[in-house]
Amino acid sequence: MSSVNISVVGAGIIGLTTALTLADRGHTVTVHDPEPASGASHHAGGMLAPTAEVVYKQDPLFPLMRASAEWYPELINLTAKYSDLPTGYRTDGTLVVARDIADKTHLDELTEYQSRHGMAVDKLTTREARKLEPALSPAINGAVRIDGDHQVQPRLFTRALIDACRSANVTFTTNRIDSLDQLEDADQVVVANGLGASQLIPSLDLRPVYGDVLHVRVPKHQYPLLTRVVRGFVEDRPVYLIPREDGTLTIGATTREDGRDQPQVQGIHQLLRDAIELVPALEECDFVEATAGARPGTPDDLPYLGRVDERTVVSTGYFRHGILLAGLGARVGAELVDRQELSIDLTACDPRRHS
């Protein structure tokens, strides 16, 4: 495969994983971003959850999520090929729990929907769930185990990706790209700068979807408070708790489209209240941080991934699944650049479908 000069716009997880994949293929790659890894990737939870993250009536998304999860170990190994930095990759699995009887009905219906679509979900008694995670409240009303849902720690992963890219001879610039005309020296361009992609390609219909996320630290006498991701429903509201090897827990995430880019008191209160309902010992943790990030959403909540012309590939609009779908974006993004047969059908992701 002959080497070509490729510019990648955006140094979030999609841009970084795509750049690394292309560099590993022998291409000359330059990444343009004034503030690498400062957007949605910085605020993300990092769950690789093709089963637990299922949303009703989004069937075209399911095969993309499953394929990306299957390809993720390749992405982790590629990063390790060029960097010794940790990624926070863990394969402990996920528990999904219900707080009350109504939440159990929701969980039962979701489990049936997941099973009907061929996803592996194991129902547990509450006793079995609390044996796996003793910190769970004795008042929970239902639980399922999903062994195939894993996690990375996004801030660690993007740091390792930047290090790996540099080792693979990727060039970074802090140039702000306001027009594709600025990249006239590139043979191929990958537009992967999240919400900013619509400025470069106005036909893309992107909207910011904000989410509040919290970080707490587990005291030494409680560590590890949890050993795997716990997701739950509390009065029908979703909440997740992600344990980290550095002794912290990530709690998230709200979803709002109010245009406010700072964490909201109501969102913080809701997340803490619901998380404590599921894991009461959280009250003893140290509060570290609250942030809010804007995820790039599309009208149908499916990504824009494909060619828009002979020189330009678009890879954005991943909404709440950006970390998980990085496996897809990296592999298929590189295949698009190299004009290879694609590993998966991208018809639903056509970046021109809303133009």
Q: What is the pLDDT of residues 278-317, one digit of tens each?
A: 999 999 999 999 999 999 999 999 999 999 999 999 999 9
pLDDT digits (tens, 9 = 90+) for 56-80: 889 999 999 999 999 999 999 999 9
Confidence at 30, pLDDT banded by 50, 70, 90? very high
- What residues are paired with 207 via a beta bridge? 297
DSSP SS3 for 317: coil
The residues facing 229 across adjacent strands are 94
Domains of the chain: 5-86+152-205+300-349 (3.50.50.60), 94-147+208-297 (3.30.9.10)
What percent of the chain is predicted at pLDDT more than 90? 98
* pLDDT given at position 57: 85
Given the structure tokens 């489209």, which residue do they identify?
A: 257
What pLDDT is stored for residue 55 in this prediction? 87
Question: pLDDT tens-digit profile of 111-157?
Answer: 999 999 999 999 999 999 999 999 999 999 999 999 999 999 999 99
- Beta strands 150-151 and 142-146 are unpaired
Q: What residues are paired with 7 via a beta bridge?
A: 30, 189
Tell me the three state secondary structure of residue 65. helix
* pLDDT of residue 1 exceeding 70: no
Identify the burial level of 141 via C-beta atoms within 10 angstroms of its C-beta, where 0-12 means exposed, 13-18 middle and 19 or more buried: middle
Q: CA-CA distance, 19 to 8, in Å (whole number)?
A: 7
**Both tokens of residue 8?**
């990648």
Q: Is the pLDDT of residue 355 over 70?
A: yes
pLDDT of 53 > 70? The answer is: yes
**Pairing of the two strands 188-191 and 150-151:** unpaired
Predicted confidence at residue 2, as pLDDT, reads 79
* Cβ proximity of 78 and 22 under 8 Å: no
